[in-house]
Amino acid sequence: LIKMTIGWHFDNTYSKLSNTFKENIKPTPVHDPELVILNEELASTLNLDFSKTDKKKLAEIFSGNSIPEETNTIAQAYAGHQFGHFTMLGDGRAVLLGEHLVNNDNRFDIQFKGSGRTSFSRGGDGRAALGPMLREYIISEAIHSLNIPTTRSLAVVKTGEKVVRENLLQGAILTRVASSHLRVGTFQYIAATQNIENLNTLVDYTINRHYPEIKKSNSKASDLLNLVMEKQCQLVVNWMRVGFIHGVMNTDNMAISGETIDYGPCAFMDHYDPKTVFSSIDKFGRYAFSNQPPITKWNLARFAECLIPLIDKNEDTAIKLATDLIDNFQNIYEDKWLNMMRDKLGLFGEDKNDKKLINDLFNWMEKNKADYTNTFCNLMDINSDEIYKNNDFINWKNEWKKRSELNNSTKEKQSKLMKSNNPIVIPRNHKVEEALAEADKGSLDKMKKLLAILKNPYDNQNNIEEYQTPAPSSNEKYQTFCGT
């Protein structure tokens, strides 16, 4: 009956793979689940209808206490380079319910995060705390509204149980929706087992699911590498566009689909500094803002290594081919990045001085600690903070206006281009923290208001000044922690 009213349509292809790829396991039931938030808009795009399900039943569903029919719950195996070190990992606190089909055609993983221990848990408790799960909810939905590919958040429940971290925290489970959870680390796991049959299975599975256009290719492995590189490149360019710092770009946190995945210590940069790092454990700035492109390339090189046995029978030939492909990253990235920056500045066509113009702006922002988001807002006449009355900035603006005259287009078109590329509002760190602190005490008002504003980041909304202002600078640097 529930199935009929809600509209689940499960078809679980991953759980049919051999046991090397996963462990069959159910979520561990929780003591006293309570629904915190349900993403009704996302539910409706998934053709799901929870309107006839009462809150108690919703809590049962999204805690895993009551599992929909036709699911086949598993924990997925994967490995990963964490801060450069290779480790066998896997879903240590997540369970995949299955793949929900929308219109028989669009396939979405439905996963619980924080659902209990699995054979991949190592020392962990398999659980998650309320703050980090709501944080993932806020930031992933914000990234989605910024038109950047990402996993999404369908619901969060409190478990009614405590989790032990530095303090005792409220336990929670997030329901995550993804086009898949295939990671670079999934390939690393299978490659490490040195079973070529399984590696072929994984490549075919991935191509069927994400890149069917190369199904019939004679060079599937290298084609896959190219397509994933293209997607990852586009993703990181988008992050750079909005000032997003993922914070933990380990290879297990890089989705083959090109979606942003695993929101842990991520945060948005306020004043422009390419070395910005928020994560407390990233001591050497491996995942700093400006390091995101080279790290993407590094991760893709790890992906390429997994594919070597399938790229060519002759290992030397395969390595040469893969190396050439990966070395192309720089060109692809720079091209995409430059065009993205032209879009932000409303520049049409190409001029040989574009790169210099852009770099001059970055240098000015860095030297003057200008807010990244608001600087582009100023160029759209939306922000008139004192800092933009600075002479160097006015001179730069004049250069920019001169370049704009080469556009061969209208002011309206320039403005339209800028408005669709420069967010007016982002999840400001202090606003996120404020919302989470309130939510921890039981009130969702602030979080819901924040979510509503972040739904339209490119619109000039009324009365949102407090969401546009960076946190007042204090002695204490903003720090984030891994999603524990």
Nearer to ligand AMP, 91 or 259 (CB): 91
12 Cβ contact partners less than 8 Å away, ≥ 6 residues apart: 70, 71, 72, 98, 99
Quick check: 466 and 427 in contact, CB under 8 A?
no
Nearer to ligand AMP, 180 or 374 (CB): 180
> Which residues in the 92-121 window bind Mg ion by CB under 5 A?
none
Binding mask 85-124 for ligand AMP (x = CB under 6 A): ----xxxxx--------------------------xx--x
Q: Binds 404, which of Mg ion, ligand AMP, none (CB < 5 to 8 A, cut-off by type)?
A: none
Nearest to 478 by CA among 274, 277, 264, 273: 277
Helices (H), 353-444: 354-368, 372-379, 391-405, 411-419, 429-440
Shortest distance (Å) from residue 148 CB to Mg ion: 18
Shortest distance (Å) from residue 298 CB to ligand AMP: 17
Q: Binds 380, which of ligand AMP, Mg ion, none (CB < 5 to 8 A, cut-off by type)?
A: none
Site size toward Mg ion (CB under 5 A) is 2
Dig out the tokens for 273 from the structure: 């500094």
Shortest distance (Å) from residue 19 CB to ligand AMP: 18
- Does 73 bind Mg ion (CB under 5 A)? Our answer is no
* Rounded-to-integer distance, Cα 196 and Cα 300, Å: 20
Amino acid identity of residue 93, one-letter, is: R
Q: What secondary structure letter does DSSP report for 200?
A: H
* Rounded-to-integer distance, Cα 74 and Cα 83, Å: 27
Count other C-beta atoms under 10 Å from residue 105's C-beta: 6
Quick check: 138 and 450 in contact, CB under 8 A?
yes
Q: Binds 423, which of Mg ion, ligand AMP, none (CB < 5 to 8 A, cut-off by type)?
A: none
Quick check: 297 and 326 in contact, CB under 8 A?
yes
Shortest distance (Å) from residue 263 CB to ligand AMP: 9
Site size toward ligand AMP (CB under 6 A) is 19
Nearer to ligand AMP, 9 or 113 (CB): 113
Query: Which residue minimizes CB distance to ligand AMP?
Result: 124
Nearest to 382 by CA among 393, 395, 373, 391: 373
Binding mask 231-270 for ligand AMP (x = CB under 6 A): -----------------x---xx--------x-x------
Shortest distance (Å) from residue 340 CB to Mg ion: 27
> Which residues in the 224-283 window bind Mg ion by CB under 5 A?
253, 262
* Rounded-to-integer distance, Cα 311 and Cα 47, Å: 40
Shortest distance (Å) from residue 272 CB to ligand AMP: 27
Nearer to ligand AMP, 174 or 357 (CB): 174
- Does 126 bind ligand AMP (CB under 6 A)? Our answer is yes
Amino acid identity of residue 25, one-letter, is: I
Nearer to Mg ion, 282 or 354 (CB): 282
Name the pairing type of β-strands 79-82 and 74-76.
Answer: unpaired
Q: Binds 264, which of Mg ion, ligand AMP, none (CB < 5 to 8 A, cut-off by type)?
A: ligand AMP
Shortest distance (Å) from residue 261 CB to ligand AMP: 9
Q: Binds 349, which of ligand AMP, Mg ion, none (CB < 5 to 8 A, cut-off by type)?
A: none
Q: What secondary structure letter does DSSP report for 65?
A: S
Dig out the tokens for 163 from the structure: 């989790």
- Does 482 bind ligand AMP (CB under 6 A)? Our answer is yes
Shortest distance (Å) from residue 111 CB to Mg ion: 12
Q: Binds 89, which of Mg ion, ligand AMP, none (CB < 5 to 8 A, cut-off by type)?
A: ligand AMP
- Does 64 bind ligand AMP (CB under 6 A)? Our answer is no
Q: Binds 93, which of Mg ion, ligand AMP, none (CB < 5 to 8 A, cut-off by type)?
A: ligand AMP
* Rounded-to-integer distance, Cα 199 and Cα 201, Å: 5
Name the pairing type of β-strands 85-88 and 267-268.
Answer: unpaired
Quick check: 463 and 452 in contact, CB under 8 A?
no
* Rounded-to-integer distance, Cα 188 and Cα 175, Å: 26
Active-site residue (options: 252, 262, 282, 354): 252
Quick check: 414 and 404 in contact, CB under 8 A?
yes
Please give the distance of CA 32 from its chain centroid, rounded to a whole number.
30
The residue whose two tokens read 């992906």 is 303
252 is catalytic: yes
Binding stretches for Mg ion (CB under 5 A): 253, 262
Binding site for ligand AMP (CB under 6 A): 89-93, 120-121, 124-127, 248, 252-253, 262, 264, 482-484
User: Which residues have a catalytic role annotated?
Assistant: 252
